[in-house]
Amino acid sequence: MDRYAVFGNPIEHSKSPLIHSLFAEQTQQAIEYGRQQPANDRFNEAIHAFFAEGYTGANVTSPFKLDAFRFADELTPRAKAAEAVNTLYKRPDGTVLGDNTDGEGLVRDLQRLWGGLDGKRILLIGAGGATRGVILPLLTAKAHSVHIANRTAAKAHALADKFDMGNKVTGSGFKDLPAMDFDGVINCTSSSLNGDLPEISSDIFANAVFAYDMTYKAQQTSFMCWAQEHNSAIKVGDGLGMLVGQAAESFYLWRNVRPKIEPVIQAVRELL
Ligand code: ATR
């Protein structure tokens, strides 16, 4: 039986084992999926031992996504653009492929919730790893443009410059947003975990069709409530679907079978 695990520290509360067991049941695949928690400076030893023991693949979460990026023998274009790896796959020839399925997980969840992204002008709030991982997948899904707004403006500019795609990817601080309407606003910061809000103008929601928060809670997040206060017609969603979506993409890479995410989102939400 093929064996997999999720690496992180801490990892005790990870939902990945549950999600993958639900995928396996749904698609009738016989797999084992566990948890691994190396010390913060011991990822390399742990992942070498893991593959030497005959495991087939791993999911990788905080704080090891950069370690996994460096460990992989080969990287997919989206992992290169993200500069982070959340999925490792030991191929039949013995080499380890590093992929990043976070952005595709987001795109699939947005499509599931509200349809295609064609021509949509997207605002991303935050300029950290979570933002970097979704830019290329959003553009690949035909978004018109991506604007990155960050509390620390210089980080948004640096990230936009890195992509070097002209008006397709731009950056600013919160106070000097460009005069443009956004069709979709995505909170890529973890502000909602503490019930906080990014200190950006609520005008960002004025003409938006959707507001999506990458974090999730048992109830609507502070960011989702805030969006609705300023635009009663706006549709809102949280990051549980992105979590299940990225797992589905990993499962697909490993098993060549694409599980349905909707029933798994529902099952996991019931346990929040
Ligand atoms: P991740 O990998 O999850 O994206 P990160 O690389 O630490 O984490 O980046 C976190 C991002 O969220 C940063 O852009 C941070 O803004 P700064 O660059 O100004 O620090 C942003 N962020 C986190 N909490 C925030 C808050 N309460 N309000 C606004 N921005 C916040």
Tell me, yes or no, whether 28 and 127 share the same domain: no
CATH code of the domain in which 11 resides: 3.40.50.10860
Query: pLDDT (tens digit, 0 to 9) for every residue of the chain, 272 residues total?
Result: 999 999 999 999 999 999 999 999 999 999 999 999 999 999 999 999 999 999 999 999 999 999 999 999 999 999 999 999 999 999 999 999 999 999 999 999 999 999 999 999 999 999 999 999 999 999 999 999 999 999 999 999 999 999 999 999 999 999 999 999 999 999 999 999 999 999 999 999 999 999 999 999 999 999 999 999 999 999 999 999 999 999 999 999 999 999 999 999 999 999 99
* Residue 8 assigned ligand-binding role: no
**Domain carrying residue 228:** 103-238
Question: Would the annotation count 171 as a binding residue?
Answer: no
Atom of ligand 1 nearest to the CA of 127: 14
The residue to mutate among 100, 102, 189, having the most atoms of ligand 1 within 8 angstroms of its beta carbon, is: 189
Are residues 263 and 140 part of one domain? no
User: How far, in Å, from the CA of 129 to the mean position of ligand 1?
Assistant: 9
- Ligand-binding site membership of 238 (annotated): no
The rounded Å distance from CA 30 to ligand 1 centre is: 39
Give the Å distance between the CA of 53 and the centre of ligand 1: 37
Q: Is the CB of 217 under 6 A from ligand 1?
A: no
Same domain? 131 vs 181: yes
Domain shared by 160 and 198, yes or no: yes
Return the CATH number at 179. 3.40.50.720
Confirm or reject: Cβ of 214 under 6 Å from ligand 1: no
Is 217 among the residues known to form the active site? no
Kindly state whether residues 189 and 233 are assigned to the same domain: yes
Q: How many helices (H) and strands (E) does the chain have?
A: 10, 12
DSSP conformational letter for 90:
E
**Co-location of 123 and 234 in the same domain:** yes
Cα–Cα dist 174/156, whole Å? 10
> Is 128's C-beta closer than 6 angstroms to any atom of ligand 1?
yes
Q: Which of 150, 157, 232 is nearest to 186 (CA)?
A: 150
Contacts of 120 (CB under 8 A, 6+ apart): 143, 144, 183, 184, 209
Domain count, the chain: 2
pTM, two decimals, is 0.97
Are residue 225 and residue 121 in the same domain, yes or no?
Answer: yes
- Within this chain, do residues 70 and 139 fall inside the same structural domain, yes or no? no
> What's the complex ipTM?
0.97
109 and 96 share one domain:
no
Together in a domain, 126 and 233: yes
Shared-domain flag, residues 35 and 87:
yes
Q: Are residues 87 and 126 in the same domain?
A: no
